[in-house]
Structure 1
Amino acid sequence: MTILPTSWRGLPRPTLLGLFLFFCAGFADGALVPFFPLWASSEANIPTGAIGLLFACYAGGELIAAPLIGGIADRIGRRPVLILSSLGVGCGFIALSFVHGVAATAIVLLLTGMCESVLHPTILTAIADVTEPSAHPRWFGMARVSSSAGQILGPACGALLALVSLGSVFLAGGGMLLLGGIVMLVALAETAGNGDGAGGTDETEEEEGLSALLPAFRDGRLAKLLGWVVLFEISGNWIEAVIPLYAQDAGTLSPSGVGALFAYAAALTVGLQMLVSRFAETRSALWLTVGAGISTIAAFALLAASPAVVSLIAAVSLCAVAQMLVGPLVPTAVNALAPSARRASYMAASSVAVDLKDSLGPSIGTALYALAPRLPWVAGIPLVAIASLGLGAAIGQARSSAGPSEGGAMPQAGAAVENYR
């Protein structure tokens, strides 16, 4: 952790603002994810089997929008995209606290997801624009720390607000993202013309249409990488989507206790992410993903054995460690494959993988839970084992195949992955 004071000195303002916006988004996500299933089942009278489908509407909005506007930050700039997406997601969260019924909730979540589709990838792109490629793994790790710091306060504040009303939790999350959008409006300068991320006048800039916005359709290496990401993350998402119902039905935790549990997991990430990142610098991608897989499998085994408080705490701790290992590795590998003029498009394509995880994960997890409470944990063990091996191999191939033919920034970006390894 002693690297942090030196790292902060001379840090470009867009990077600091990007980390702040990650904090705001983490706060909102931390407020939404643990309490949405409880709000839906208790206050909105939504059947348990439909809760996952509503989660899928949120991710579905992102999936609908990503092919159309995923690469828009490469054309109109990072600043307007960040401002509008922050304000749009914030308004969506606030609207959620006033709606009732499956149809109205689904519409709000769909529109909110469309605004969110460009938020996280554009923040990462802005950070990559103004930092050296060799430092990208470090700052992508810091982005996770900032998001996790928000995810500490989000569930903690949500636990207090849930004593009054579960719907008020969404007001707090939306307000935080509105604040982030206002700060971007006042303080953020455009980053698209900085460094190797500058949008020059090369041939790739003249491409328009769907194929330019979904580089996974044109880059088989990226498609393969993201396929393994989706498979690995689907089961990991069951921790967030299923534990609130699992703990409540077992009588283990109250809604406030669920919020405290996820706040603890986020605090663990804040405290350990940079330490884990330093440790990971000397390990191969396969070593890291296998380690993440073993941690997740151990978490599932504990949950399958018992819904006791000790098992829940140990499980979220192990899953937090797994995400610390692979979290910065994926965007670093995607950035290694990206031509400089299409960096935002490649980051948006990687966001599609996350959106698929957020859509399929809760849907499949809650559906399995509706069949049998322990079924998600038992089914997740072989899925994680296969996906962790495939993901490690795909990230290693992405690093080795990154070359000058893919764009001017490629050699430096490839070095960034090498440094992380």
Structure 2
Amino acid sequence: MTTISSSWRGLPRPALLGLLLFFCAGFADGALVPFFPLWASSEAGIPVGAIGLLFGCYAGGELIAAPLIGGIADRVGRRPVLIFSSLGVGCGFVALFFVQGVAATAIVLLLTGVCESVLHPTILTAIADVTAPSAHPRWFSMARVSSSAGQILGPACGALLALISLSVVFLAAGGMLILGGIVMLAALGETMGSGRGTATDHDEDEDGLSALLPAFSDGRLAKLLLWVVLFEISGNWIEAVIPLYAHDAGTLSPSGVGALFAYAAALTVGLQMLVNRFAETRSALWLTAGAGLSTIAAFILLMTSPAMLPLIAAVSLCSVAQMLVGPLVPTAVNALAPEARRASYMASSSVAVDLKDSLGPSIGTALYALAPRLPWVAGIPLVAIASLGLGVAIGRARHVSGAATSKAGYSAGVARPEEPAAWPTGPAVEEYS
């Protein structure tokens, strides 16, 4: 125990505090998302067709604010941004406990999204400030693990609190982020100017609508992101519609919905690395087709019955689909990006995810308002087309990357990995090098 304690004490405090804040944010999101549709329809008096629009207000706040204040941490410092953003998001979630009606809820979610737009990028920037570049992948991976752990405990805690009242869940979600903000206020020191942060860090962490500009000048990236959005929109219906679908059918109570989403998060945490090993030897089209088939199978199960076993199987299949596709998209975007514009290209991918979070619930709940099984029926052809298009786009990105690597190796006189013995090594090549 002494050795373990000494090892943790030797790690940079801001990075450890960043992991804690990631856990708090994951907990809050995990507690909010499964129960918001149920609260909106049963306690807040919000029409089912408007629930998706309210989800869109939250994502819309992020999209509107990010181009304006996304880089504010490089001007005023990481510490004040982390304190005010975590407290702002926490207070926004707490405010949902008190509001009623569509207009008031939309305003609260919009303002909460504005505060959230700078939370995650600033946490990553603070971690990068105090850790060596060679350690960034490990720390960023730990940040994802911390967020996933929160997303497991959030729905589980929300399931217990929903036994009291659905609105009490918002107090827990907001209270966790307020606690995180208080810890940042008490323990976090300023990391800007610590010697490792540079102007490049600002470029890599900034996202928003301005980050979509590379998509308009690079048709390959625009097509890739289009397929990403189309595929993710339908997958998002699982998360947005199942709470209403299962509750209206009498299959799950609000607590049962929270437990179902906690199970899905635990499944992803437990199987992601195993799926990654399996995916290493498969083509992009094979993987996206597999993800598409998994999602279609989930929709067919949901379309046939809202019973417990089909719900569990559908959530499991959808989780597997996300495990297959998740690592492919950033890899493909990075392959398309020129060296000098890699951060902008990756930010475009982040904005595409925000668009998915805005459009997915809006469309899914609107379809559900027309007919309970309509999202699953409409999702089948959409997923089939999007998964094939996404596989082709990712395959082309890999081909472009491989061709560029081969060309660069030839220009520099470097042997290709697949044919080292046949590659010329004579005086001409040495002179060119």
Q: Give the letter for the 1:379 counterpart.
A: A
For residues 286 and 83 of structure 1, do their structure 2 counterparts lie closer, same or farther at Cα, with a shift above 3 Å needed?
farther
For residues 154 and 183 of structure 1, do their structure 2 counterparts lie closer, same or farther at Cα, with a shift above 3 Å needed?
same
Give the aligned partner of residue 116 of structure 1.
116
Cα shift readout 1:357-400 (whole Å, capped 9, x = no counterpart): 11111111111111111110111111111212222333344445
Looking at structure 2, the residues matched to 339 and 75 of structure 1 have their Cα atoms a distance apart, in angstroms, of 27
| Structure 2 residue 267 is the aligned partner of structure 1 residue 268 | yes
Give the aligned partner of residue 375 of structure 2.
376
State the structure with more CA Rg. Answer: 2
Give the aligned partner of residue 325 of structure 1.
324
Unaligned runs of 5+ in 1: 1-7, 406-421
Q: Check the 8 A contact 2:74/2:192 in 1, yes or no.
A: no
Q: Which moved more, 1:160-169 or 1:20-29?
A: 20-29
| Structure 2 residue 375 is the aligned partner of structure 1 residue 365 | no
RMSD across aligned positions (CA)? 3.6
Q: Check the 8 A contact 2:336/2:401 in 1, yes or no.
A: yes
Q: Aligned to 1:237, what secondary structure does the other structure show?
A: helix
Give the aligned partner of residue 41 of structure 1.
41
| Structure 2 residue 280 is the aligned partner of structure 1 residue 281 | yes
Looking at structure 1, the residues matched to 189 and 346 of structure 2 have their Cα atoms a distance apart, in angstroms, of 20
For residues 84 and 289 of structure 1, do their structure 2 counterparts lie closer, same or farther at Cα, with a shift above 3 Å needed?
farther
Give the aligned partner of residue 349 of structure 2.
350
Give the aligned partner of residue 303 of structure 1.
302
For residues 240 and 51 of structure 1, do their structure 2 counterparts lie closer, same or farther at Cα, with a shift above 3 Å needed?
same
Superposed displacement of residue 232, structure 1? 1.0
Q: Check the 8 A contact 1:96/1:108 in 2, yes or no.
A: yes
Q: Aligned to 1:34, what secondary structure does the other structure show?
A: coil
Q: Give the letter for the 1:149 counterpart.
A: A
Superposed displacement of residue 263, structure 1? 0.9
Map 1:63-78; keep pairs closer than 5 Å.
63-72=63-72
Give the aligned partner of residue 190 of structure 1.
191
Q: Check the 8 A contact 2:212/2:351 in 1, yes or no.
A: no
Superposed displacement of residue 128, structure 1? 7.1
| Structure 2 residue 19 is the aligned partner of structure 1 residue 23 | no
Give the aligned partner of residue 60 of structure 2.
60
Cα shift readout 1:16-54 (whole Å, capped 9, x = no counterpart): 554443322221111111111111111111111111111
Map 1:17-416; keep pairs closer than 5 Å.
17-72=17-72, 81-123=81-123, 136=137, 143-184=143-184, 186-187=187-188, 190=191, 198-199=198-199, 214-335=213-334, 345-401=344-400
Q: Give the letter for the 2:228 counterpart.
A: V
Looking at structure 1, the residues matched to 287 and 136 of structure 2 have their Cα atoms a distance apart, in angstroms, of 19
TM-score after normalising by structure 1: 0.80
For residues 18 and 400 of structure 1, do their structure 2 counterparts lie closer, same or farther at Cα, with a shift above 3 Å needed?
farther
Cα shift readout 1:157-195 (whole Å, capped 9, x = no counterpart): 111111112111111111222233344553476378877
Give the aligned partner of residue 430 of structure 2.
none
TM-score after normalising by structure 2: 0.78
Superposed displacement of residue 103, structure 1? 0.8
Cα shift readout 1:328-369 (whole Å, capped 9, x = no counterpart): 333344455567786665444323212211111111111111
For residues 351 and 199 of structure 1, do their structure 2 counterparts lie closer, same or farther at Cα, with a shift above 3 Å needed?
same
Q: Check the 8 A contact 1:125/1:343 in 2, yes or no.
A: no
Cα shift readout 1:126-182 (whole Å, capped 9, x = no counterpart): 66785768984x776655443332121111111111111211111111122223334
For residues 162 and 391 of structure 1, do their structure 2 counterparts lie closer, same or farther at Cα, with a shift above 3 Å needed?
same
Q: Give the letter for the 2:66 counterpart.
A: A
Q: Give the letter for the 2:250 counterpart.
A: G
Cα shift readout 1:107-138 (whole Å, capped 9, x = no counterpart): 000111122223344555666785768984x7
